[in-house]
A and B are shown apart, each in its own frame.
Chain A
Amino acid sequence: MTSIMKRILLIFCAAWLTSASSGALAAPEGTIVIGLSSLGAEDWLVPARPQANAIAIIPVFDTLLQRDDKTGQPAPGLATKWEQSKDGKTWTFDLRPGVKFHDGSDFTAEDVKFSYEVALRPDSTSDMKGVFTNFVQSVEVVSPTRVVFHMKQPNWEILYKFLEVPPFFPIVSKKYFDKVGWQEAGRKPVGTGPYKFVEHKLGEYVKLEANENWWKGAPRAKTIIIRGIPEEATRVALLQTGEINLAPVGSDSLAKVKSAGLKIIRMQNLMQMVVGLEGQYLPDREGYDPKVPWAQPDKAKALKVRQALSLAINRQEIVNKVLQGMGTVEGSAGIQSFPGMPGFDPSLKVDPYDPERAKKLLAEAGYPDPSKISIIVDSTPHAARPTNSAVAQAVALYWRNIGIDVKERTSDYANLMDQGIKRKLAGVVWVYPTPAFDEPVMQLYTVTYSKARTQLFAEYPELDALLEKTVSEMDQNKRWELQKETAKWMNEHEIAIPICYADMLWAASPKFEWTSLPGQVTVGYLNNVDTMYLAK
């Protein structure tokens, strides 16, 4: 080969190698600005705080498990492998070696144990505190890359709490906390995630910068700025001016967003609108009122009233007109059941819209004159998913159409929750926008169980028994069948009225790209932030 040919070959090889590797080694570039309705409590002392607190700093942390991008199912995160012992009382996690925190310290099993201790602080309001207190005996560091959770009794649920979304259990650095102290660690968080914390201005924004050494590969965008923009119309205006690139919007803004040439990102079936018929308490509760038609001692008549209320609602019209088509009625008959998720039973049918049959049922239940039934419909917006308010107002309208005396009110969300906890909402109806959980019983056991602190739907001994049986079932397949059985029981007894699934909408600038997780598993949180970028 002549020297010229050798040179040409050398140049060709160099060019080929550069182009082949440029995709894999491409440095993060550009800035993405996200406008959320709120930055949350802006207290970053995770995991001593509820997962809702971490809303603006999710990209800073990793969790033991991630979610598969396509299915949303558990996938390796900081743990590469996990195993439950045969007796169900220990969970062993093999940890990913070579991972570093943003301050340069190594991630080890000590940090997992430390994070567990942070969640148990006396001032902790973490979602994990109750879980750890009630179910975890201890956490053992076997080696730098192996940690074991010893459970008080067999427990399957804890695995789902270690997923990236919702971020119940972000892993923090013991060395960092020891070095800077709790307060500083909470103000300037350090994790192992795709983005490093840079700056925070109270009430304004959080600024994050790419962690190019992230174990999964450098993220696409160099900088992420998350701003707090409470007013939706302002978020849309900022998208139009290009000052932000992504923001959550309601279905009311859909037409405006489309006409402005912005992108709509739809997270389908993120929540289920369920009408809660409050007052179905155990009879010995102080708040139980036997005069509430759907909770009266005559169970047969009470059921007819509940069925009538369900038949009076035009679900498809709610999806079309209230949600602007951003929802689905089909398949939504099971309370807390979502398509593709455990416990979903497609054979359960949604009640049709039949106001005449509704009136007939009311007459059979002893209410030939529906105006003798008085209902308070509370349309208080949910703190995180406010679409429920408009749905509640629509439900009130349908019930008025069949002659029921409906009074509407809007109260304070905290007050409503408070009254719910005290079981003092008899006669009140509100629409709860329940998100999907990895298994329905995880939600039902905490909000529809007579011994739980919170009560959202109803209390029945038979339901309690089903939930207790389900929660203690360690065999996954049997547990999923039990959840189908629970959904069927709730459907037959109409303890609450499922209306439809509703989507969560994000509006984005035309060049914004994002590979989000399947809508249902995200609960509306930012996720896969490492995949966000602005196309050229």
Chain B
Amino acid sequence: MSRFIVGRALQSLLSLFVVSLVVFYAARLTGDPTVLMLSEMATKEEAAQLRAHLGLDKPITTQYALFLKQAAQGDLGESTRYHRPVTDVLTARFPASLQLGSVAIVISILIALPIGVYSAVHRGTALDVAGRLFAVLGQSLPLFWLGLILILIFAVWFGWLPAAGRGGPANFILPAVTMGWATTPAIMRLTRSSMLEVLESEYVKLARIKGLPEWKVVWKHALKNALLPVVTFSVLLFAEMIAGAIVTETVFAWPGVGQLLISSVNTRDFPMVQATVLLLASLFVLGNFGVDVLYAWLNPKIRYAR
């Protein structure tokens, strides 16, 4: 098992190294960051001086080597926009994404699980059709529109909730529901198909033959076994949710890393782009790593497979 873990860990590190290389070079293909850092009235000499100060006049391979050397010491550089260490900026912004993502995934699971279970148990009925229609709606409604509609109804018309911004528990509700809406159908569908498979298994049939109440058969025996793929999928979905939250963050003025990444790309803040992409990539890599290890622990065949 430990050999398996070490192997997976090395693969994860290699993935991150490749990501750092790609994002470093890709960011620099977008052009000269001094164009936006300086006003239109700046002179050519100022631009040249600033480029030299930022080390952008060096060959790109030299720049990357320097970046790696500093990164190895825990220094991911200074944001050319915020003029502070990128880790400081991420430390300020990432918790906001993490908190919102956590609430959103919990809401998503709380809605998706019951619908998925009922759909599976009442397969082919109106309830099942309703559940699947909900899934279609969830995946086709644009988040941007949904977010604004929720603000209009719950904040402007009824005045029940704050319209935007980070704050107390009430501030989480609308953005988390919006964010969770996108992932709920996927979790619901997976729950349904997983439950359908489990409900056909021998031990479930045995539980019914033994005379157990149906609710116990479904919620205690079947769901427990159907949950594994749902949980592992949700972990990956969580990482994706945080990385892709730009629309929700923009609509609700939520100071997360999604907005940070987009604004960093727009302003050509290379160190910030690199650090943010690496952080988000790490989430995915960590998520995958965790899932792999969990599966290997549960199913020894996987860890010995070549």
Which residues in A have some Cβ–Cβ distance to B below 8 Å? 38, 41-43, 45, 49-52, 122-123, 125, 127, 129-130, 133-134, 183, 186-187, 201-204, 227-231, 233-234, 237-238, 240-241, 243, 383, 412-415, 417-418, 421, 446-447, 453-454, 456
A-B contact pairs, 27 of them (CB 8 A): A41-B81, A50-B38, A50-B39, A51-B39, A122-B49, A125-B38, A130-B43, A133-B46, A186-B83, A201-B92, A203-B260, A204-B253, A227-B165, A230-B250, A231-B253, A233-B148, A234-B251, A234-B252, A237-B163, A238-B164, A243-B165, A383-B36, A412-B266, A414-B36, A417-B40, A453-B44, A454-B41
Known: A237-B152, A418-B32, A453-B44. A204 touches B37 (CB 8 A): no
Cβ-based interface call for B53 (8 A): yes
Known A127-B42, A203-B93; further 7 A-B contacts with Cβ < 8 A: A38-B263, A43-B81, A50-B39, A130-B45, A229-B165, A230-B250, A240-B156
**B89 contacts across to A, CB distance below 8 A:** 202
Task: Report the interface size class on chain B.
Answer: 35 or more
Of B36, B41, B156, which contacts A127 at CB under 8 A?
A: B41
Indicate whether A417 sits within 8 Å of B156 (C-beta atoms), given known contacts A41-B81, A127-B41, A202-B255: no
Contact between A414 and B268, CB atoms less than 8 A apart: yes
A497 to chain B, nearest CB (A): 20
Known: A201-B255, A203-B255. A234 touches B42 (CB 8 A): no
- Nearest chain A CB to B46's CB is how many angstroms away? 5
Q: What is the bound-complex CA distance between A122 and B50, given in angstroms?
A: 8
Q: Which residue of B lies closest to A415 (CB)?
A: B31
- Cβ of B114 < 8 Å from any Cβ of A? no
Cβ contact within 8 Å between B163 and A417: no
Q: In whole angstroms, what is the CA distance A183 to B148 when docked?
A: 39
Within 8 Å CB of B44, what residues of A?
453
Does B31 contact A418, Cβ atoms closer than 8 Å? yes
CB of B49 within 8 A of CB of A234, answer no
Across-interface contacts of B84 in A (CB, < 8 A): 43, 183, 187
Is B166 an interface position by the 8 A CB rule?
yes
Task: Tell me the smallest distance from the CB of A127 to a CB of chain B, in Å.
Answer: 5
CB distance from B97 to the nearest CB of A (A): 11
As a 0/1 sequence over residues 48 to 59 of chain B, the CB contacts with chain A under 8 angstroms (1 = contact) are 011001000000
**A412 partner residues in chain B, CB cutoff 8 A:** 30, 266
Residues from chain A with a CB closer than 8 A to the CB of B39 are 50-52, 127
Nearest chain A residue, comparing its CB with the CB of B83: A43
**Contact yes or no, B31 A234, CB < 8 A:** no
Closest partner residue, chain B, to A202 (CB atom): B92
Residue of A43, A130, A237, A454 near B156 (CB, 8 A) is A237
Cα A415 to Cα B40 in complex, Å, equals 14
Q: In the complex, A415 Cα to B255 Cα: how many Å?
A: 26
Q: Which single residue of chain B is at the shortest CB-CB distance from A166? A: B39
Question: Least Cβ distance of A202 to chain B in Å?
Answer: 4
Chain B, 248-272, CB within 8 A of any chain A CB:
250-253, 255, 259-260, 263, 266-268
Find chain A residues with CB under 8 A from B253 CB: 204, 227-231, 234
Q: Is the CB of B164 within 8 A of A229?
A: yes
Cα-based distance from A383 to B251 in the complex (angstroms) = 19
Please count the residue pairs between chain A and chain B whose beta carbons lie under 8 angstroms apart in the complex.
136
* Min distance, Cβ A163 to any Cβ of chain B, angstroms: 15
With most chain A CB atoms within 10 A of its CB, the pick from B35, B84, B89, B93 is B35
Binding site for A on B (CB under 8 A): 30-33, 35-47, 49-50, 53, 81-84, 89, 92-93, 96, 148, 151-152, 155-156, 159, 162-166, 250-253, 255, 259-260, 263, 266-268
- Alpha-carbon separation in the docked complex, A41 to B81 (Å): 6
Which of B41, B47, B166, B266 is A446 in contact with, Cβ under 8 Å?
Answer: B41
**Smallest CB gap from B151: residue in A:** A237
Query: Do the beta carbons of A234 and B151 come within 8 Å of each other?
Result: yes
| CB atoms of A123 and B43 under 8 A apart | no
- In the assembled complex, the CB of B198 is this many whole angstroms from the nearest CB of chain A, namely 43
With A43-B84, A201-B255, A446-B41 in contact, do A123 and B164 touch (Cβ < 8 Å)?
A: no
Q: Within the assembled complex, what's the spacing in Å between the Cα atoms of A41 and B43?
A: 21
Interface centre among A186, A201, A238, A415 (most CB of B within 10 A): A238
Q: Are B81 and A130 in contact, CB atoms less than 8 angstroms apart?
A: no
CB distance from B111 to the nearest CB of A (A): 24
Chain A residues with CB under 8 A of B30 = 412, 414-415
Given A129-B46, A203-B260, A447-B40, A42–B164 Cβ distance below 8 Å?
no
Scoring B50, B155, B163 by chain A CB atoms within 10 A of each residue's CB, the highest score goes to B163
**Which 7 A-B residue pairings sit nearest by Cβ, starting from the closest?**
A203-B255, A202-B92, A446-B41, A43-B83, A229-B253, A130-B43, A127-B39
CA distance A202 to B83 in the complex (A): 12
Report the minimum CB–CB distance from A23 to chain B (whole Å): 35
Closest chain-B Cβ to A485's Cβ sits at a distance in Å of 23
Quick one: closest A residue to B44, CB to CB?
A453
Q: In whole angstroms, what is the CA distance A227 to B252 when docked?
A: 12
CB neighbours of B81 from chain A (8 A) = 41, 43
Q: Which residues of B contact A454 (CB under 8 A)?
A: 40-42
> What's the nearest-Cβ distance from chain B to residue A45, in Å?
6
